[in-house]
Amino acid sequence: MNRLAVELPGLSLKNPIMPASGCFGFGREYAKFYDLSVLGAIMIKATTLEARFGNPTPRVAETPSGMLNAIGLQNPGIDKVLAEELPWLAQYDVPIIANIAGSTVEEYVEVAKRISKAPNVHALELNISCPNVKKGGIAFGTVPEVAAELTRAVKEVSAVPVYVKLSPNVTNIVAMAKAIEQAGADGLTMINTLLGMRIDVKTAKPILANVTGGLSGPAIKPIALRMIYEVSQAVSLPIIGMGGIQSAEDVIEFFYAGASAVAIGTAHFIDPYVCPNVIRDLPPLLDELGIQHISECTGRSWNNGQTVYCGA
């Protein structure tokens, strides 16, 4: 038995570990470090209809236990992604989750329609939570009705299941998740980055050229856990959890909160080998915890943790 195998809409994962969108490019850079087929899936960099350059530099700034980024959805556009990146990724035995973004509903629909037909794209991740672009992105992710309308429109044209990536920059994330569930989404991914900023003490100017950016890394892990804990008990959609994961212990914590799989983002910049290392570390950790299969961990912390502990 493969104790790490997970079944999700559209996705038969050999393990529940995947690189998060925007932290792994289209896989080429990390393929120099290890065989990408070891991964459960790959969430590729957000793809838009036209090529985008993104924001001016500096695009990153550091914070204790985290980092801010304001890349601005730089990508080569769907034509190139379909012609070059996805066929290149097809050499690996790994399902692709295509993160899609746009400035208008029409752009999302067009990208979804075309990219969902690529043979190795097994699911879409609807990016309605990028805090670093002026139009689109988070504009679709803060009002439940708007998010629901976009979800419906994309669901209608997509050839594969649609996961919606939630923004933590909202007052009520449960209301958002419910609206997206009712609109027909197949799953949720959460959380995207938190809007933040840093200012240079000497110059009094914002460090990021974009002024604000998205906070990621271990700093946001408690927020991600709390939000997954809340949302997973309010909706019946599977959740791919993310936000500061660095270790196998972190993965189990996200499952306990209610995730069914997880994505790793910022940790790649610290250790290119983080995904294979976490995949390697999971089985012995399951042994230590007396757990047969990782899926048993999902939601173990619910009900104030009263049913949680079954450690050896």
Q: Given candidates 2, 7, 12, 29, which one binds other proteins under the rule CB under 8 A?
A: 29
**Is 212 annotated among the ligand-binding residues?**
no
Q: Is there binding between residue 287 and other proteins (CB under 8 A)? A: no
Q: Is there binding between residue 99 and other proteins (CB under 8 A)? A: no
Assess contact for 295 and 276: CB atoms under 8 A.
no
Q: Is there binding between residue 276 and other proteins (CB under 8 A)? A: no
User: Which 102-161 positions form the footprint of other proteins (CB under 8 A)?
Assistant: none
Nearest distance from C-beta of residue 219 to other proteins, angstroms:
8
Q: Is there binding between residue 202 and other proteins (CB under 8 A)? A: no
User: Where in the sequence numbering do the catalytic residues fall?
Assistant: 130
**Is 142 annotated among the ligand-binding residues?**
no
Q: Is there binding between residue 64 and other proteins (CB under 8 A)? A: yes
Q: Given candidates 4, 13, 23, 164, which one binds other proteins under the rule CB under 8 A?
A: 23
Q: Is there binding between residue 53 and other proteins (CB under 8 A)? A: yes
Stretch of 25-33, 162-170, 179-187, 230-238 lying at the interface with other proteins (CB under 8 A): 25-33
Q: Is there binding between residue 221 and other proteins (CB under 8 A)? A: no
Residue ranges in contact with other proteins by CB under 8 A: 22-25, 28-30, 32-33, 45, 51-54, 57-67, 69, 71, 74, 76-77, 217-218, 266, 268-273
